[in-house]
Amino acid sequence: MVSFTFRGFCAPVFTIFNKDQSVNTKLIPEYAKYLAQNGVHGVLVHGSSSEGMCMSAVERKASLEAWLKAVKTTKQHLMVQVGGCPLPDVLDLAKHAEKVGADSILCLPELYFKPSTVKELINYLKLVGEAAPNTPLLYYHIPRWSGVNINMEQFLNQVGEVIPNFKGIKYSSNDLDAGLAALRVKNRKYAVFLGANTLIAPAFAMGFDSTIGTSLNMLPQYSVAIAKAIKENNLNEATKIQEELSAIIDVITKNGHWVPTMKAAATLLSPIDVGKTRPPLANLTDDQVTEMKESLKRFSLL
Ligand SMILES: *[C@@H]1O[C@H](CO)[C@@H](O)[C@H](O)[C@H]1NC(C)=O
Question: What tens digit of pLDDT does each residue of 125-176 get?
Answer: 999 999 999 999 999 999 999 999 999 999 999 999 999 999 999 999 999 9
Q: Does ligand 1 come within 6 angstroms of the Cβ of 276?
A: yes
Contact 212, 235 (CB under 8 A): no
Predicted local confidence at residue 29, as pLDDT: 98
Cβ-defined contacts of 94-100 (< 8 Å, 24+): 94/128, 94/131, 94/132, 94/135, 95/131, 95/132, 96/61, 96/64, 97/64, 97/132, 97/135, 98/131, 98/132, 98/133, 98/134, 98/135, 100/61, 100/64, 100/65, 100/68
**Residue 240 appears among annotated catalytic residues:** no
Helices and strands in the chain: count of H runs, count of E runs: 12, 7
The domain covering 9-232 belongs, at the CATH homologous superfamily level, to Aldolase class I (3.20.20.70)
Structure confidence at residue 302 as a pLDDT band (50, 70, 90): confident
Amino acid (1-letter code) at residue 145: W
Q: How far is the CA of 18 from the centre of ligand 1 (A)?
A: 9
Question: What tens digit of pLDDT does each residue of 271-285 get?
Answer: 999 999 999 999 999
Question: What tens digit of pLDDT does each residue of 228-273 get?
Answer: 999 999 999 999 999 999 999 999 999 899 999 999 999 999 999 9
Residue 166 burial (CB < 10 Å; 0-12/13-18/19+)?
buried
Pocket test for ligand 1, best of 55, 267, 283, 284 (most atoms within 8 A of CB): 283
Give the rounded percent of residues in the chain with a pLDDT score beyond 70. 100
CA 158 and chain centroid, separation: 24
Pocket test for ligand 1, best of 278, 286, 288 (most atoms within 8 A of CB): 278
Question: What tens digit of pLDDT does each residue of 190-235 get?
Answer: 999 999 999 999 999 999 999 999 999 999 999 999 999 999 999 9
Rg (CA), the chain: 18
CA 95 and chain centroid, separation: 21
Predicted local confidence at residue 183, as pLDDT: 98
Q: Does ligand 1 come within 6 angstroms of the Cβ of 21?
A: yes
Entry pTM: 0.97
* Residue 243 phi, psi (nearest 5): -60, -40
Give the rounded percent of residues in the chain with a pLDDT score beyond 90. 98
- Report domain extents, the chain: 9-232
Range 37-57 average pLDDT: 98
Q: Does ligand 1 come within 6 angstroms of the Cβ of 19?
A: yes
Q: How far is the CA of 220 from the centre of ligand 1 (A)?
A: 27
Q: Does ligand 1 come within 6 angstroms of the Cβ of 282?
A: yes
Question: What tens digit of pLDDT does each residue of 66-101 get?
Answer: 999 999 999 999 999 999 999 999 999 999 999 999
Ligand 1: atom nearest CA of 280 is 13
Predicted local confidence at residue 13, as pLDDT: 98
CA 70 and chain centroid, separation: 18
User: Across the chain, what does the average pLDDT equal?
Assistant: 97
